[in-house]
Amino acid sequence: MHFRNWMTAIFAALVLIAPSPFPSAQFNASIEGVVIDHDSGAPMGGVKVYFSNVGTFARESTFVTTDPQGRFVIEVRTAGRYRLLPEQPGYVHSRPARLKTPQRVLYVQVSEQGPTPRLELPMAREGIIVGQILDSVTGQPMPSVVVNLGVPTYDRTGNIFAEMGFPAEGSPGAEIRTNDRGEYRIFGLPHGEYYVVYRRYIPDNAAPIVGHMLGYYPGVDRLAGAALLKVEAGKETRANPILLDPPSKAVQVRFRYGGTNPKVASEVSPSMMFTADNWETSTRVGRNNDETLVRMHRGRHDLTFQIPSATGDMLYSLMSFDVGPEDLEKDVILTRAVNLTGVVTLRDAAGKTLEGSGISCSLDGSGQLLTPRSGRGARPGCIEGKAVMGSYQLRVSLPADAFVVSAKAGQRDVLRDGIDATKDVHLDIEAATPGAVISGVVTDDKNSPMSGATVALVPDAPYRNAVVLYRSDISVFDGKFVLRAVAPGAYRVFAFTDLPGVAYRNPEFLMKYETRGTPIKIENATPVSLKLVALE
């Protein structure tokens, strides 16, 4: 698994949201509201309310300040979905106490036809985590250890990982280091549950590469053994001391890729990607004839080794091994990567073929991009790429309101059965526009509109693994949501109050809610309206 850039902690549930359909024409509109103290209900003056348009994917940098009565007015010139983040030292935006997943922002939809949104933003006292890191042998404090927070999150393949980088933008110290007493203090936290993640850099005098050691509270090197710390509004959570073993001396690992392997390109150094539990780093390493020398620290290492061959093919090797106190040698068995090619054909409602610009494809879970072909003879919609042998799901990025009709690899239904990349694969992908639009309102069990709920459209079997058929949205302040570019088929729609990432892609998680989803069948592009009660 991979660690994600910390900024994605805010946007994990927006993975499948389509671009805003509103025109970019300028107009005058506003978002108005009042900021209040969650406990007393008193208005809060001097609070900065940051805002940005979600469609621009920009970080919140523009703000307005509340007046003495706690009121604010945000003038906007473009319709769309806006992200609001109120900030005041010692406070955080408040969410219902029953929710475990931290969330700092509020989403607001602004349209030319709609009324001016008027909000009430409650703020609660910040939560704090404090702790200490000590040497397990001497008991002495360990300064300069990097400490960060993570939240339990499901990635788009349905697997759980620690989403790094909380606190989010605008809060103090997204990443800190322990002081001379080995202490860390992380503040500005919404209530919720967090992992404490630490990373210690280990310089190696024998090589220019700097190693690192990664771990989780209460002192384990795998996420499976990590413990969550619960943070409550206005309270300090004190963690038990973390005891770290002294760093081991790096040893030399000699990777040899000669022998019966295909001949590699002599002028190219290999790319080596080392993977630990939810942490990934890649580096170019020096090369001497048919071997590569790397300094590595003790422990279990997973390695992906890639290098072009002399004939232009991509060669790879997947390795997993233990590094101990002594230097060692490893023979690298290289395999030719699978070639993937394909054609994406996009048609409108009348069956007319459209220009294929704005189309890209990837293999879900691999990060492998299938790029558009270029050069003489390449027509729009053609794609190509290389991949490690394995089974994958296809992910397709299309223009707004377009959807995937079918995807075939010969006679294999790729949407149903996935891509079997044990040999070269050619894909024929059919797409169409426009897709159906599902809109509606999410309420709580008291029929009040619910903001910040994740609405997920999940295809029924046998297409439950078809990534391209899923859609999701986050309800705005008045509970409204929109799911666009929906393909014909049978689905269930879920609304979750407290969802860690795209947990609805995880079969075990979804099993608990399967019968509580709203069944829906899409046959054409006719709009559908729903009212959903959020699941807890």
Does some domain include residue 453? yes
pLDDT > 90 in the chain, percent: 35
Does some domain include residue 225? yes
- Residue 305 clears pLDDT 60, i.e. is over it: yes
Q: Are 47 and 86 spatial neighbours (Cβ–Cβ below 8 Å)?
A: yes
Q: Are residues 108 and 19 in the same domain?
A: yes
Q: For residue 509, give its domain range.
A: 437-533
Taking residues 357-379, report their average pLDDT: 64
Q: Are residues 370 and 315 in the same domain?
A: no
On the CB side of 393, CA atoms within 13 Å amount to 17
Q: What is the pLDDT of residue 174?
A: 60
Q: What is the pLDDT of residue 63?
A: 92
**Phi then psi dihedrals of residue 448, to 5 deg:** -95, 140
Tell me the whole-structure pTM to 2 decimals.
Answer: 0.80
Q: What is the pLDDT of residue 97?
A: 75
Does some domain include residue 148? yes
Q: How would residue 203 be classed by pLDDT, with cut points 50, 70 and 90?
A: low
Does some domain include residue 2? no
Task: With residue 151 as reference, give the H or E element that holds it.
Answer: strand 146-154
Domain boundary pick from 413, 432, 451: 432
- Residue 523 clears pLDDT 60, i.e. is over it: yes
Domain boundary pick from 371, 398, 432: 432
Tens digits of per-residue pLDDT, 124-156? 999 999 999 999 999 999 998 889 888 888 876
User: 218 preceded by cis ω (within 30°)?
Assistant: yes
Q: What is the pLDDT of residue 431?
A: 93
Domain boundary pick from 100, 125, 150: 125
Q: What is the pLDDT of residue 516?
A: 93
Q: Are residues 237 and 222 in the same domain?
A: yes
Q: Are residues 136 and 230 in the same domain?
A: yes
CATH code assigned at 287: 2.60.40.3540
Does some domain include residue 1? no
Taking residues 209-233, report their average pLDDT: 81
Q: Are residues 418 and 496 in the same domain?
A: no
Tens digits of per-residue pLDDT, 8-49? 333 333 333 334 444 444 567 889 999 999 999 999 999 999
**192 or 270, which is more confident:** 192
Q: Are residues 208 and 146 in the same domain?
A: yes
Q: What is the pLDDT of residue 172?
A: 41
Q: Are 265 and 271 spatial neighbours (Cβ–Cβ below 8 Å)?
A: no
Tens digits of per-residue pLDDT, 248-302? 677 788 888 766 666 665 555 556 565 544 333 444 444 455 677 777 777 777 7
Largest CA distance in the chain: 77
Tens digits of per-residue pLDDT, 43-86? 999 999 999 888 665 555 789 999 999 999 998 888 888 889 89
Q: What is the pLDDT of residue 265?
A: 55
Q: In terms of Cα–Cα distance, which of 486, 489, 474 is closest to 532?
A: 474
- Residue 205 clears pLDDT 60, i.e. is over it: no
Domain count, the chain: 5
Q: Are residues 236 and 143 in the same domain?
A: yes
Q: What is the pLDDT of residue 223?
A: 82
Task: With residue 431 as reference, give the H or E element that holds it.
Answer: strand 425-432
Does some domain include residue 3? no
452 CA to centre of own chain: 17
Q: Are residues 468 and 453 in the same domain?
A: yes
Taking residues 484-510, report their average pLDDT: 91
Does some domain include residue 257? yes
Cβ of 140: how many Cβ atoms within 10 Å? 10
Tens digits of per-residue pLDDT, 433-475? 999 999 999 998 889 888 888 999 999 999 998 989 999 999 9
**281 or 244, which is more confident:** 244
Q: What is the 3-state secondary structure (H, E, C) of 497-524?
A: CCCCECHHHCHHHHHCCHHHCEEEEECC
Taking residues 183-208, report their average pLDDT: 78
Mean pLDDT, the chain, integer:
80
Q: What is the pLDDT of residue 365?
A: 62
Q: Are residues 332 and 361 in the same domain?
A: no
Q: Are residues 14 and 118 in the same domain?
A: yes
Instruction: Please return the burial class of 309, using the count of CB atoms within 10 Å of its CB with bins 0-12, 13-18 and 19+.
Output: middle
Buried b (16+ CB within 10 A) or exposed e, 112-127: eeeeebebebbbbbbb
Q: Are residues 204 and 235 in the same domain?
A: yes
Q: What is the pLDDT of residue 289?
A: 53
CATH code assigned at 137: 2.60.40
Does some domain include residue 346? yes
Q: What is the pLDDT of residue 294?
A: 75
Q: Are residues 390 and 471 in the same domain?
A: no
- Residue 219 clears pLDDT 80, i.e. is over it: yes
